[in-house]
Homo-oligomer: A and B are copies of this chain.
Amino acid sequence: MPDNRVVVAVDAMGGDHGPAVTVPAVLQCMARDADLEVVLVGIESRIQEELRRHRDVPVERLHVHHASEVVGMDESPALAMRNKKDSSMRVAIDLVKSAEAHACVSAGNTGALMATARFVLKMLPGIERPAIASELPTLKGHCIVLDLGANVDCTPQHLLQFGMMGAVLVAAMEQREQPSVGLLNIGEEEIKGNETVKQAAELLRASGLNFYGNIEGDDIYRGTTDVVVCDGFVGNVALKTSEGLAKMISTILREEFNRNWLTRMVALMAMPVLNAFKRRVDPRRYNGATLLGLRGVVIKSHGGADRFAFEQSIIKAVREVRNQVLQRISERMAIAHEDAA
């Protein structure tokens, strides 16, 4: 029987809510997964205080690792990395580096997490830049989009590597051969797009990946391809714009259902339908972006995540370890390297 045991280092202090969210989420995940061990990293007194609120803490699988500092959500990534060597974020990453944990999860400052993880863990061979990859819901299920903001200036080579990593991620997590890869562009014709994207399309076409070709913004949610490749500037704008639009739509929908006593009655009756709808598009289900390309599994949770959302990030970390995502990316890059040689 294979060893199913996974150790996850959780930055207990990260995010808008800290231990009040991270600790209950960890306990929930551990209750469901008997092979999961967790190291809660952060200010010990704060973590213990939160733990005392819960019964049935699995003490033999749950460890607390003290870290005296916390990286602020708006702190400069460079300064945080240089000055806070005993932050919960840094120590959680250190545990991955020293192989005491298989993965780490943090809801902290994205820039600091990326900079620190890159500095401590280093890149996988053949990968020049890390990418932030996340699942988004589509009409057909979901897709993986990368990069969502780690890189503001990408070369065609970087985009090719994102495509390879994204394809391996989907293949590993969903046991699928040759997931389709689309390149985000502003027209389907090959003549469109800027120079970088044009050259990236050439590289992707010759890469042996199941390259679909250029896709447009609306193809993301249409589910046209399993993987969507773009530079971090474009990906981040697309993601944040989506968040803004979803927020606007739900606000207006709520306003209309709240207009008067009649519409509020209708809302009450429509509640089961509206809830079923909400469940299907709930962004919390997709919480947890993977920092791909590093020598270690690092998952970034949304800063504002609640318990349910933070649980999804932990589950994602565990699944990536069990599905050997890192090893599979390394193997894929080695093949690419041989092909190029």
* Contact residues, A203-250 vs B (CB, 8 A): 216-222, 230, 232-234, 236-249
A241–B266 alpha-carbon span in the complex (Å): 31
Q: Which residues of B contact A234 (CB under 8 A)?
A: 233-234, 237
Most-contacted residue by chain B among A184, A222, A244, A247 (CB, 10 A): A244
Number of interface residues of A (CB under 8 A): 60
* A216→B240 contact, CB < 8 A: yes
Distance in angstroms from A287 CB to nearest chain B CB is: 16
Distance in angstroms from A204 CB to nearest chain B CB is: 18
How many monomers of this chain does the complex have? 2
Q: Which of A35-43, A45-53, A275-283, A325-333 forms part of the interface with chain B?
A: A275-283
User: In the complex, which residue of chain B has the Cβ closest to the Cβ of A257?
Assistant: B273
Residue A304 lies at the interface, judged by CB distance under 8 Å to chain B: no
Given contacts A186-B236, A253-B277, contact A193 B152 (CB under 8 A): yes
Residue A139 lies at the interface, judged by CB distance under 8 Å to chain B: yes
The contact of A222 among B233, B248, B253, by CB within 8 Å, is B248
The contact of A242 among B137, B192, B217, by CB within 8 Å, is B217
A219–B216 alpha-carbon span in the complex (Å): 22
Residue A335 lies at the interface, judged by CB distance under 8 Å to chain B: no
* A256→B237 contact, CB < 8 A: no
Distance in angstroms from A321 CB to nearest chain B CB is: 29
Residue A68 lies at the interface, judged by CB distance under 8 Å to chain B: no
* A217→B230 contact, CB < 8 A: no
Q: Which residues of B contact A233 (CB under 8 A)?
A: 186, 193-194, 197, 234
The contact of A217 among B184, B239, B263, by CB within 8 Å, is B239
Residue A1 lies at the interface, judged by CB distance under 8 Å to chain B: no
Residue A138 lies at the interface, judged by CB distance under 8 Å to chain B: yes
A268–B6 alpha-carbon span in the complex (Å): 50
A239–B191 alpha-carbon span in the complex (Å): 20
The contact of A221 among B220, B245, B274, B277, by CB within 8 Å, is B245
A216–B242 alpha-carbon span in the complex (Å): 11
* A249→B248 contact, CB < 8 A: no
Q: Which residues of B contact A195 (CB under 8 A)?
A: 153
Residue A341 lies at the interface, judged by CB distance under 8 Å to chain B: no
